[in-house]
Chain A
């Protein structure tokens, strides 16, 4: 039978407590679970460690004062290369960091997913990833080659938040765009896993929507599913919608003054999703 794991946005936020490590799926300004991020930003939670291929998720949470530490290899809005709110937080010394190579980040998630303490790689040798972050260690091959390799530590997550195009009530998830990103690994690396989707559909509809390979998330990987139409806005969620570049520019400009951020926050963060969609001028059906 297909269980019913449907929850509300508030249910998800209620699971997240001060000091937790939160992994957020997507990549840059692409398919980010922004409805869940917005809800976290208006919650009372604090001191989070955020683990992400970062985009506006990291920027919003940093600006809202929710973040103690960021684990990342980049934080970018893609068409705006540097995330302004994250930059401001870094340049104020407001957040701790673990800055990894993109591939090291993947291996850290994979190690946590496979329940091993680290995975070895050549990546990072000779660079300042290791030299500046002495918590990262190397390991010597026990075989005849004797090579020294980087031991990327497992990136264990308390909670994973991901956004998919479609899902069923049991937590099966489907991406309909070109790239799954690393959302399945975020789920496998986490204790509690929450997936927002553009639309919850009957399980039979998933295979009719796209190739079986697009059903990337199975329900072993998910504890709760939330239907959030427009839930990735203003990041891209193709083919349902592309990035809202005008909105993203408006968001980026809010780094220029506290007044601009306060106005943005009042209109787009301190509101429920229905009000958000109305204020952002987006529809409710994918």
Chain B
């Protein structure tokens, strides 16, 4: 595995994205932070290492760990604090204390997410992962999303298949069935998005410093809610940069998912 070339200097795009993901878990307290994918994993472990120390996390496999395990490092030391095979994970999902961040092949204005397939169910034009755990995640837990390739093909007017349910589907179910639903944020390589609008339509929460509102709008296939003043995503602190480079992502795997330029 080759060493990353850029490990000093100002924060990278990957580090901005990881910090934006970390912010998803701010205020969550003692719950399972369950990031799926490289940048979300860096973000989740960063949140636990800094402002949300009570978060419970897995090693990415079948145990809960109390220490900050570096991403993608084989045989890293683990302070094991629980056995969590897949079956036990369903206990946590259905019991409730969990906030997952997962990917989305498509996501729409109200946060409906598709990872299953494109086209018709009997003969899809593209079979993707399948529903996986998305229906269960979104009806039981807070679910955030990470999209490394923000484009009109991902941010679509209407998803082909609803795997993870959005705010319109949740509203249609009513306040009892949907009482555990919530999408705290969507982080992409261009910006951060939330649903803090009267209709729960997706809003630009911030744009990353290398992006702009115009670029985000151009790369989004539906009309985003745009506040009068759109802030720039916050800059990683020196402490966060040091933690990412030295402890959480020493192999620089995040730099591969979001390249420097």
Contacts and interface: CB of A to CB of B under 8 A. Distances in A.
B164 interface: yes
Give the interface residue-count category, chain B. 35 or more
11 contacts: A73-B130, A82-B127, A91-B126, A97-B122, A104-B136, A121-B94, A126-B165, A127-B134, A128-B162, A145-B176, A147-B176
Contacts of A76: 129-130
Contacts of B90: 102-103, 106
B151 interface: no
B256 to A, nearest CB: 15
Contact of A127 (B93, B122, B129, B131): B131
A122, A148, A182, most chain B CB atoms within 10 A: A122
B140 A122 contact: yes
Interface string A114-129: 0000000111111111
A91 B123 contact: yes
A149 to B, nearest CB: 8
A123 B135 contact: yes
B85 A178 contact: yes
Interface stretch (B5-13, B42-50, B167-175): B167-175
Given A93-B122, A102-B136, A103-B90, A82 B128 contact: yes
Contact of B161 (A73, A104, A132): A132
A122 B130 CA distance: 19
B178 to A, nearest CB: 7
Interface of B: 61-63, 83, 85-87, 90, 93-94, 116-117, 121-136, 138-140, 161-165, 169-170, 172-173, 176-178, 180
A127 B132 contact: no
Given A178-B62, A182-B87, A99 B129 contact: no
Interface in A55-96: 72-76, 81-82, 86-87, 90-93, 96
A27 interface: yes
Interface residues of A, number: 44
A94 to B, nearest CB: 9
A101 interface: yes
A132 B83 CA distance: 36
Contact of A124 (B87, B123, B139): B139
B161 A128 contact: yes
B131 A129 contact: yes
A151 B136 CA distance: 14
Given A127-B131, A178-B61, A101 B136 contact: yes
A2 interface: no
A179 B86 contact: yes
Contacts of B136: 101-104, 121-124
